[in-house]
Chain A
Amino acid sequence: MITAKSRGRQLLLQGNEAIVEGALAAGCRFFAGYPITPATEISEVMSYRLPAAGGTFIQMEDEIASLGAVIGASLAGTKAMTATSGPGFSLMQENLGFACVAEVPCVIVDVMRGGPSTGLPTNVSQGDVMQARWGTHGDHPIIVMAVSTTQDCFDITVKAFNFSEKYRTPVIILSDEVVAHTREKIFLPHPGEIEVLDRIRPNTPPEWYIPYEDNPRGVPPMGIFGDGYRYHVTGLLHDVRGFPTQRPDEIIPFMSRLFRKVNQHFYDIQVVEEESTEDAEVIVIAYGSVSRSARRAIREARKRGTKAGLVQLMTLWPFPRQILEPLLRRVRAVLVPELNMGQVSREVKRINQGATRIETLNRIDGNLITPNEILVRLVKL
């Protein structure tokens, strides 16, 4: 559990507003965005909250420019974020890859709506799970988190900023139309109770600074434009000094470090929430708004004598394999309900390796999967 529900201010907020609160609490002081349903409220609330906090909001000419400005602001030392939905997220893929390769901390919120293309702008979906993982070209590691409640929106946004700063990587938050627009109770912890992490800055004399030198964490200290550590930032594959290279003996260590810095910290990055899994015979693996239906369904199933459990994925990528594998070997069957044709269930099947039976429950009509739909399937598993 990563929430601090016991203390703090109690408010009634929608998910999009809670994401803004989380970002501000995490130290975000720059937001660039472009209007898009169902993410627009994030821009609107940022536009009046950020200037009062001494930060900057700007509405750019498109989503490509939004993420470009976010990366620029981060390089100049400000924690920065953008928010969009599927079509805008597609436009961001180019600069997302840049942020991965240049190792620029930033947070991107994708409030998922029905797709493909313009799709179902005002309806819920979970169709961007694979776009978040593989949308930008080339091999790259990425951290993707999913939110299911207004409280999650706050907590996970803080966590997303912390991960992006700690590992110098873009972090994607996948929200969806239901979470974004549901108004519910939220407890905002006091500022002093929130763990906020900042990127590690170099402390060597500038002339000794080697900007992309490896270390045990795999995350080099990050110089900020203007603080005396003049160095080169590029989307080209580069050597330890940041200069473009085509030498295999420089490319291999760079790419390996990029993957290692995320993969070796899986225990920190992979966040899940389990309910009633200790003695479960069947489990539901769910994320986002669907996990709310799933939680209700397993509780109902227990009342009817089915030993059901829930694993709610907060981290979608890197896929929480280390946490799921032991569970898959223990249970009789697994149900993966999601609002797409089977993006996470495909990953569950991949890591399952035939250990147990995986069933899917998919809905792509723009409506939420109800607790009853899950319950009906659960009791038959």
Chain B
Amino acid sequence: MAEFTKLIHKYLRHDKKFPHVWCPGCGNGIFLGALIRAIDRTGFEKDQIVIVSGIGCSGRISVYVDFNTLHTTHGRALTFATGIKLANPKLQVIVIMGDGDATAIGGNHFIHAARRNLNITAIVVNNSIYGMTGGQYSPTTPYGATATTALYGNIEHAFSIAELAAMAGASMVARGTVYHANLLDELIEKAIVKRGFAVVEVISHCHTQYGRRNRMGGAVDMLRWQKESAVKIDKAQTMTAEELTGKFTIGVLEDRDLPVYTHEYNKIRDAAKAMLAKAG
């Protein structure tokens, strides 16, 4: 039996009514593979892991995996995750969101979660479009691209999710693609074991809604685009701004040790108890 088949048997739900909702060729399948390989490498028990997801195509991942799973309201996944982590810091909380989910409707929660620095792993699967609702422009749709709500071309400018997370104060920020699957395994694993708020932006593709409309071809063509546009972060440092135009960096973009919220809160508990004892 192939190694990965064993992981499928171990981590995918047996009692779930498959098939899944994703289109053939979707990047979510590759991401799901990377996620369970990474979780397996960390060695955490299934009972210890909570997968919290938002709404959209990537949000459906929580249904398929055999952990404690929570499929929340649109954009709010990080708020639910915050409550779970605070109530039981021993749980490993992994949040899976889409680009619209994390940076449009959930944009405020995203930057505040990064600033707050709970020990949570946040993964944003970025396919530059609202896929499930049929191809509307999202906060990461490039300028000039077309979408069902931007037939004349998108006049808004895209967020860089990883850079946004770093500026907002996340402890660790990484970006990968579903084309660079081995790297993605490593980045997700690093983010899970990182103490503090760790963000992984996963560049994915939606050939059904985005690629077709923007003449980028099918799933394979869009994977090829990821291969050609991604530049490893250490290589990017040797390149000029001109050479980097139209490219994006992959790898660990930020990794720093900052005070973790639950650790800080324990100090507050001690201070409060001491004050109460003093007051008698």
Q: Which of A67-75, A156-164, A340-348, A351-359 lies on the face that meets chain B?
A: A67-75
- Cα-based distance from A226 to B51 in the complex (angstroms): 12
Contact status A225-B63, CB under 8 Å: no
Which of A66, A68, A80, A230 lies at the interface centre, i.e. has the most chain B CB atoms within 10 A of its CB?
A68
Q: Do A65 and B109 form a contact, CB below 8 Å, given A30-B87, A76-B88, A95-B76?
A: yes
* B208 part of interface (Cβ distance < 8 Å): no
CB-nearest residue of chain B to A64: B76
- Cα-based distance from A94 to B54 in the complex (angstroms): 14
Instruction: With both chains docked as a complex, state the minimum distance between the C-beta of A181 and any C-beta of chain B, in angstroms.
Output: 25
Contact status A73-B17, CB under 8 Å: no
Chain A binding surface SS class: mixed
Q: Which of B26-34, B66-74, B150-158, B183-191 lies on the face that meets chain A?
A: B66-74
* B148 part of interface (Cβ distance < 8 Å): no
State which residues 40-56 of A face B: CB under 8 Å: 48, 51-52, 54, 56
* A84 part of interface (Cβ distance < 8 Å): no
B-contact 0/1 string along A92-111, CB 8 Å cutoff: 00110010000000000000
* B228 part of interface (Cβ distance < 8 Å): no
- Cα-based distance from A69 to B86 in the complex (angstroms): 9
Contact status B80-A68, CB under 8 Å: yes
* A259 part of interface (Cβ distance < 8 Å): no
Q: Which of B133-141, B174-182, B232-240, B265-273 lies on the face that meets chain A?
A: B265-273
Q: Could you tell me how many residues of chain A have their Cβ less than 8 Å away from some Cβ of chain B?
A: 44
Q: Do A68 and B83 form a contact, CB below 8 Å, given A226-B90, A228-B47?
A: yes
Contact status B71-A73, CB under 8 Å: no
Instruction: With both chains docked as a complex, state the minimum distance between the C-beta of A251 and any C-beta of chain B, in angstroms.
Output: 15
- Which of A52, A74, A226 is within 8 Å of B272, CB to CB? A52
* B108 part of interface (Cβ distance < 8 Å): yes
- Cα-based distance from A17 to B88 in the complex (angstroms): 27
- Which of A30, A32, A60, A233 is within 8 Å of B70, CB to CB? A233
Contact status B109-A225, CB under 8 Å: no
Instruction: With both chains docked as a complex, state the minimum distance between the C-beta of A67 and any C-beta of chain B, in angstroms.
Output: 8
* A235 part of interface (Cβ distance < 8 Å): yes
Contact status B87-A77, CB under 8 Å: yes
Measured between beta carbons, the chain A residues less than 8 angstroms from B16 are: 243
Measured between beta carbons, the chain B residues less than 8 angstroms from A98 are: 72-73
Q: Do A73 and B84 form a contact, CB below 8 Å, given A51-B265, A61-B108, A230-B67?
A: yes
Instruction: With both chains docked as a complex, state the minimum distance between the C-beta of A210 and any C-beta of chain B, in angstroms.
Output: 10
- Which of B78, B79, B84, B276 is within 8 Å of A225, CB to CB? B84
CB-nearest residue of chain A to B277: A52
Measured between beta carbons, the chain B residues less than 8 angstroms from A241 are: 15
Measured between beta carbons, the chain B residues less than 8 angstroms from A30 are: 83, 86-87
* A217 part of interface (Cβ distance < 8 Å): no
- Which of A51, A60, A244 is within 8 Å of B82, CB to CB? A60
- Which of B46, B63, B108 is within 8 Å of A232, CB to CB? B63
- Cα-based distance from A73 to B87 in the complex (angstroms): 5
- Cα-based distance from A227 to B47 in the complex (angstroms): 7
- Cα-based distance from A331 to B63 in the complex (angstroms): 56
- Cα-based distance from A227 to B265 in the complex (angstroms): 24
**17 A-B pairs (CB sep. < 8 Å):** A51-B265, A51-B271, A52-B273, A65-B108, A70-B83, A72-B79, A72-B87, A75-B83, A76-B87, A94-B73, A225-B88, A226-B90, A226-B91, A230-B68, A230-B69, A232-B62, A244-B71
Residues of chain B touching chain A, judged by Cβ–Cβ distance below 8 Å, are: 15-17, 46-48, 50, 52, 62-63, 66-73, 76, 78-88, 90-91, 108-109, 112, 265, 268-269, 271-273, 275-276
